[in-house]
C-alpha cells in the first residue's frame, strides 16, 4: 500500500465547499473555477465579463483560504488529526458576501453532520480520498473589512476546524 503524501485533507474540503456553493445556486458562476483559492495564489480580482451569483456581471466573489496549522494533540488517538482553516470572502457586494458567509456557516457548522456530508460527497463522487472526516466546528471570525481595502471589495473572515483520520498500515504509519 503506497501512501500519497501530497494529498492534504484540505483538498477534499475545498472541493466539497466549491461543489456545495455551486449546487446551492449561490455561487452560480458558470465556468468560473477560481472562486476559492489559497492565500499563496493571487486571486483574479476584476473580471468584468464574469456573471455574478446574485445577477449581473462584474467582480465575481472570491474565497481566499489559508491552512493555519495542524493540531497534533498529545493523546492516545495518534491517528486523529485536526486542521484549522481561515477563509476570507471577498465581494464588491455586501449582500453577496454575507449570503456566502451564512451558507458556509450552515455548511461547516454542523459538527458530525457536516463531516457526514463531506464523507458522502467523497463516496458519491469517487474522489479516492484516503480521509474520513469526524467533525467540523466554527472557531472564530473577525469584523468585516472596510470596502476600501482589497480593490474596493468587502472582506468577511471566518475560521473553522475539522477532524479527520486516514488509514493506517500495520506499523501504525499513514497508508492510502
- pLDDT confidence band for 168 (50 / 70 / 90): confident
User: How many beta carbons lie within 10 A of that of residue 172, not counting itself?
Assistant: 9
Q: Which CATH number fits domain 9-165: 3.30.2000.30, 1.10.3720.10, 3.30.565.10, 3.30.2290.10?
A: 3.30.2000.30
Q: What is the mean pLDDT of the chain?
A: 78
Q: Which residue has the higher pLDDT, 76 or 68?
A: 68
The whole-model pTM stands at 0.81
Q: How far apart are CA 84 and CA 78, in angstroms?
A: 17
Average pLDDT in the 4-12 region?
Answer: 82
Q: How far apart are CA 89 and CA 69, in angstroms?
A: 20
- Beta-strand pair 132-142/154-165: antiparallel
**Are 90 and 97 in contact, with CB atoms under 8 Å apart?**
yes
Average pLDDT in the 67-88 region?
Answer: 77
Residue 159's closest CA among 83, 78, 100?
83
Q: Tell me which residue has cell 475560521.
A: 159
Quickly list DSSP for 98-157.
HHHHHHHHHHHSSTHHHHHHHHHHHHHTT-----EEEEEEEEEEEPPPPTTSTTT-EEEE
The predicted pLDDT at position 42 comes to 62
Query: Does residue 36 carry a pLDDT above 90?
Result: no
Amino acid at each position: 500500500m503506497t501512501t500519497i503524501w501530497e494529498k492534504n485533507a484540505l483538498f477534499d474540503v475545498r472541493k466539497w465547499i466549491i461543489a456545495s456553493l455551486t449546487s446551492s445556486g449561490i455561487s452560480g458562476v458558470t465556468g468560473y473555477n477560481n472562486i476559492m483559492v489559497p492565500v499563496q495564489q493571487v486571486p483574479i480580482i476584476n473580471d468584468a465579463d464574469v456573471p455574478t451569483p446574485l445577477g449581473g456581471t462584474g467582480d465575481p466573489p472570491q474565497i481566499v483560504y489559508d491552512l493555519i496549522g495542524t493540531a497534533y494533540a498529545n493523546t492516545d488517538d495518534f491517528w486523529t488529526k485536526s486542521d484549522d482553516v481561515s477563509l476570507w470572502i471577498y465581494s464588491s457586494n455586501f449582500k453577496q458576501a454575507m449570503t456566502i458567509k451564512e451558507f458556509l456557516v450552515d455548511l461547516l457548522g454542523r459538527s458530525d453532520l457536516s463531516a457526514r456530508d463531506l464523507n458522502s460527497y467523497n463516496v458519491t463522487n469517487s474522489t479516492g480520498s484516503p480521509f474520513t472526516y469526524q467533525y467540523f466546528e466554527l472557531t472564530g471570525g473577525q469584523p468585516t473589512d472596510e470596502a476600501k481595502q482589497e480593490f474596493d471589495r468587502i472582506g468577511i473572515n471566518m475560521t473553522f476546524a475539522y477532524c479527520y483520520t486516514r488509514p493506517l498500515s500495520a506499523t501504525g504509519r499513514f497508508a492510502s
